[in-house]
A and B are shown apart, each in its own frame.
Chain A
């Protein structure tokens, strides 16, 4: 992380009590902004990133030199038009792009915090990011938006701060992490912890990182972001730069080679401990339980205008789970719209060029501004 100076951070001095009972204070929150905050300060959108995302929503990510994760959606004249809106995104706590997390160096011990970092929740992430409003002196956001874990943060944000945003766009998400979601995350965590280099999380202070474990975690997760049909159409049984099967355990198939690439590219930009902490936070997310079994109560006092979007081929956070949120909002008499977008691109649809999706977001944001 030698390019970490390209990261903007601000220090949150006040004490924040985490769900685990511990408190944190004087810690950094890394953020990025796009567009300009207008004089009335009514054009700000807080975007929340997903598990493997960061604050670099669009343009070229200065750390990875790749396009930001929401480049299709956010930018000048795009669906979230940065000529019009001021987009803020922060790296979640527990992350590894400059915000307080397991890879932060402890000022006293001069060592990485590692697994001494407290276990955090989506609620903690949101409560920390709420400080961005004070930082930018924004009284009310125009919108909060995010997909997947970003969508969970949207729901939590509205539940915690019902008057602090005018609109909300939870995309391809859930109000309560399912057993299948938890199982898939556990698979990733076990892959990391089974890597001999993980060393109970103390690897950053050593020479070798658990790259193999993190890579396998990413490969497994990546499959869950795609759909069977999408995979079949893109890769089928196509072979990787060879005429015939090799009768070995090399990457004979293109899909194998693709997944290996996804895995190895990920370890260059992501910290294994962050992966453990963030997946844990997702697993602990249960807004239904937080409101004693009645999700509607989470949105009872809210005047926020919601627009919920799901994708037909998303089996990780399927339409049925997104509709649970719609149902809860309706039961609370909240203002909610919903659309299911046709796409073969699986859960990843929210990050990709899916014209109907981009159009929906644009239509919603422009019509209500």
Chain B
């Protein structure tokens, strides 16, 4: 399993109720269920992935987070997970609002557009960056709202939600992000992982 999923699962206590938004093929859901007895639900846009989840016995709904999160009642989950999907929404702000409506705690991970390789790519090549975490070309990328770790931290201040935990991931190395090292982490990390609270 990806390091990112391992970190996410460590942020969640056992026996909780979790909604995985954009759950993909259900790898994380299955892990949470099997290792932490977590009652999981998934929302996934790809029919192919929904089929995979169903064959794993996972309860997944085919749908689009921007429309279908609405159907979940307020505070119906202990945690909601959004892994590397925020940048693909038309209205990420609304999605975050909805995440924090259905659950008081949300784990959001973002591919960091402030990562030095991304910056250098744009700086030297003058073309839109293509990296491991951002494999698409500008014309076919689903990622329409890219942001940096620093952007997300600023966003949290503006939207007045708490960053309960901020982690940076580079390769397999995890580190805490704080006010003092924000610029450094924003430069050297591929992924930001945030546990946010209303």
Interface set of A (CB-CB < 8 Å, partner B): 305, 307, 326-327, 330-331, 333, 335-342, 356, 359-360, 363-364, 366-368
A residues near B76, Cβ cutoff 8 Å: 330, 333
Q: What's the least CB distance linking B32 to chain A, in Å?
A: 15
Selected from B50, B54, B55, B71, the residue in CB contact (under 8 A) with A330 is B71
In the complex, residue of chain A having the shortest beta-carbon distance to the beta carbon of B72? A330
**Which chain B positions have C-beta within 8 A of A337?**
50, 53-54, 58-61
Q: Shortest 4 CB-CB distances between A and B: which pairs?
A: A367-B57, A363-B55, A327-B71, A338-B61
For this complex, into which size category does the number of interface residues on chain B fall? 10 to 19
**B61 pairs with A360, CB closer than 8 A:** no
Name the contact of A307 in the complex, choosing from B41, B54, B73 (C-beta under 8 A).
B54
Contacts of A331 in B (CB 8 A): 71-73
On whether the beta carbons of A367 and B61 are closer than 8 Å, the reply is no
Interface SS of chain B: helix, strand, loop or mixed? mixed
A327-B71, A339-B62 are known; give 19 further A-B pairs, CB within 8 A.
A305-B59, A307-B54, A330-B73, A331-B71, A335-B59, A336-B61, A337-B54, A337-B59, A337-B60, A338-B60, A338-B61, A339-B50, A339-B54, A340-B47, A356-B47, A356-B51, A363-B51, A367-B56, A368-B57
Which B residues are CB-close (under 8 A) to A364?
54
Inside 8 A of A333's CB, which chain B residues have their CB?
73, 76
Per-residue 0/1 for B44-70: is the Cβ within 8 Å of any A Cβ (1 yes, 0 no)? 000100110111111111110000000
Q: A76 to nearest B CB, angstroms?
A: 20
CB interface residues, B 75-107, toward A, < 8 Å = 76
Shortest Cβ distance from residue B128 to the other chain A in the assembled complex, whole angstroms: 32
Which A residues touch B56, using CB under 8 A?
A: 367
Whether B54 and A336, one on each chain, are in contact in the complex, defined by CB atoms closer than 8 angstroms, is: no
Contacts of B61 in A (CB 8 A): 326, 330, 336-338
In the complex formed, the residue of B with least CB distance to A307 is B54
Query: Which residues of the other chain, A, contact B71 by a CB distance below 8 angstroms?
Result: 326-327, 330-331
Q: B58, A359: Cβ atoms under 8 Å?
A: no
A153 to B76, CA, bound (A): 28
Cα A341 to Cα B47 with chains together (Å) = 8
A170 to chain B, nearest CB (A): 14
Complex Cα distance, B43 from A339, in Å, reads 11
Residues of B participating in the A interface, judged by any CB pair closer than 8 Å: 41, 47, 50-51, 53-63, 71-73, 76
Rounded to whole angstroms, the CA-CA distance of A340 and B62 in the bound complex is: 7
Q: In the bound complex, how far is the Cα of B72 from the Cα of A335, in angstroms?
A: 12
Can you report 8 A-B residue pairs in the complex whose CB atoms are below 8 A from each other? Answer: A330-B71, A331-B73, A337-B61, A339-B47, A356-B47, A356-B51, A359-B51, A363-B54
Chain A hits for B63, CB < 8 A: 338
A299–chain B nearest beta-carbon distance, Å? 13
Residues of chain A within 8 A (CB-CB) of B53 are 337
Neighbouring B residues of A338 by C-beta, 8 Å: 50, 60-63
Contact partners of A339 in chain B: CB under 8 A: 47, 50-51, 54, 62
* A359 proximity list for chain B (CB < 8 A): 51
A329 to chain B, nearest CB (A): 9
The winner among A327, A330, A335, A360 for most chain B CB atoms within 10 A is A330
Distance A178 CA – B59 CA, assembled complex (angstroms): 28
> How many angstroms from the CA of A305 to the CA of B54 in the assembled complex?
12
Nearest CB of B to A63, in Å: 35
Q: Check B73 against A336 for contact (C-beta < 8 Å).
A: no
**A336 to B41 CA separation, bound complex (whole angstroms):** 8
Considering the chains assembled together, what is the distance between the CA atoms of A313 and B77 in angstroms?
33
| Chain B positions within 8 Å of A326 at CB level | 61, 71
A340 to B, closest residue via Cβ: B62
Residue on A nearest B52 in the bound complex, by CB = A363
Is B55 within 8 A of A336, CB to CB?
no
A305 surroundings in chain B (CB, below 8 A):
59
A362-B55 Cα distance, complex, nearest whole Å: 8
Across the interface, name the chain A residue whose C-beta is closest to B70.
A327
Q: Which residues of B contact A335 (CB under 8 A)?
A: 41, 59
Residues in chain B near residue A341, CB distance under 8 A: 47
